[in-house]
Chains A and B, each alone.
Chain A
Amino acid sequence: MNIAVCIKQTADTESRPTLSADRSRVEEEGLVWIINPHDESAIEVAVRLRDERGGTVTLLALGPDRVESALRQGLAIGADFAVHLQCDAMPDDPKTVAGALAHIISTRDFDLVLTGEVAIDGAGAQVPQRLGVLLNWPCVTGVEELKVTSDGLTARHPVEQGDEIHICNLPAIIGINRRIGEPRYPSFRGIMKAKRKPIEKEAAVLEFAQLRIESLALPASRSDGKILTYEDGVAARVVALLREEAKVI
Chain B
Amino acid sequence: MFKVLVIAESSGSRLTISTLEVCRVASELSMLLGGHWEMLVDHQTEEAAGAIAPRVSSFDLREIAYPGPEMLSDIVAQVTKAVNLVIMPATSTGKDVMGRLAQKLDAPLAQDCMGFEVVAGRPVFKRALYGGKVTANVELSGKLTLVSFRPRAHAPIQQSDEFVKANPCMVSIPELMTAVKLQPKASSERPDVTEASIVVSGGRGLQGPENWYVLEDLLDALGPNAALACSRPVSDENWRPHSEHVGQTGRAVAPDLYIAAGISGATQHVAGIVRSKCILAINKDPAAPIFKVADYGIVGDLFEVVPALAAAIRRGA
Contacts and interface: CB of A to CB of B under 8 A. Distances in A.
Interface of A: 11, 13-17, 19, 26, 37-38, 92-95, 98, 120-130, 132-134, 137-142, 144, 157-169, 177-179, 210-219, 222-223, 225-230, 234-236, 238-242, 246, 248-249
A218 B205 CA distance: 31
The 3 closest A-B pairs by CB, nearest first: A230-B300, A129-B99, A210-B108
B95 to A, nearest CB: 5
B297 A228 contact: yes
B301 A230 contact: yes
Contacts of B112: 123, 125
B243 A158 contact: yes
Nearest to A212: B139
Contact of B178 (A26, A122, A167, A223): A167
Contacts of A17: 130, 133-134
A225 B177 CA distance: 52
6 contacts: A13-B131, A13-B268, A94-B109, A129-B103, A210-B145, A230-B308
Nearest to A231: B300
A213 B66 CA distance: 37
B133 A16 contact: yes
B206 interface: no
Contacts of A157: 92, 96
Contacts of B295: 222-223, 225-226, 246
A211 B103 contact: no
B93 A93 contact: no
Interface residues of B, number: 93
Interface string B125-152: 0011111111111111110010000000
A26 to B, nearest CB: 6
Contacts of A219: 132-135
Contacts of A164: 66, 68-69, 180-183
A249 B313 contact: yes
B240 to A, nearest CB: 13
B111 A238 contact: no
Nearest to B181: A165
B257 interface: yes
Interface string B281-310: 100001000010111111111001100110
A125 B111 contact: yes
Given A139-B100, A212-B139, A179 B278 contact: no
B5 interface: no
Given A211-B109, A211-B110, A227-B294, A168 B179 contact: yes
B171 interface: no
A230 B294 contact: no
B268 to A, nearest CB: 6
B9 to A, nearest CB: 9
A127 B312 CA distance: 48
B249 A179 contact: yes
A133 B309 CA distance: 51
Given A123-B128, A126-B98, A225 B92 contact: no
B261 to A, nearest CB: 12
Contacts of A248: 197-198, 256-257, 277-278
A23 B106 CA distance: 29
B167 interface: no
B242 interface: yes
Contacts of A126: 95, 98-99, 102-103, 109, 111
B141 A236 contact: no
B62 interface: no
B32 interface: no
A152 to B, nearest CB: 10
Nearest to A31: B130
A100 to B, nearest CB: 14
A218 B108 contact: no
A168 B178 contact: yes
A194 B194 CA distance: 42
Given A17-B134, A230-B298, A98 B178 contact: no
B177 A169 contact: yes
Contacts of B107: 210
A50 B313 CA distance: 56
B135 A227 contact: no
A13 B96 CA distance: 24
Contacts of B300: 229-230, 234
Contacts of B243: 158
A160 B134 CA distance: 27
Contacts of B277: 246, 248
Given A159-B91, A162-B183, A163-B182, A129 B100 contact: yes
A192 B297 CA distance: 48
A217 B128 CA distance: 10
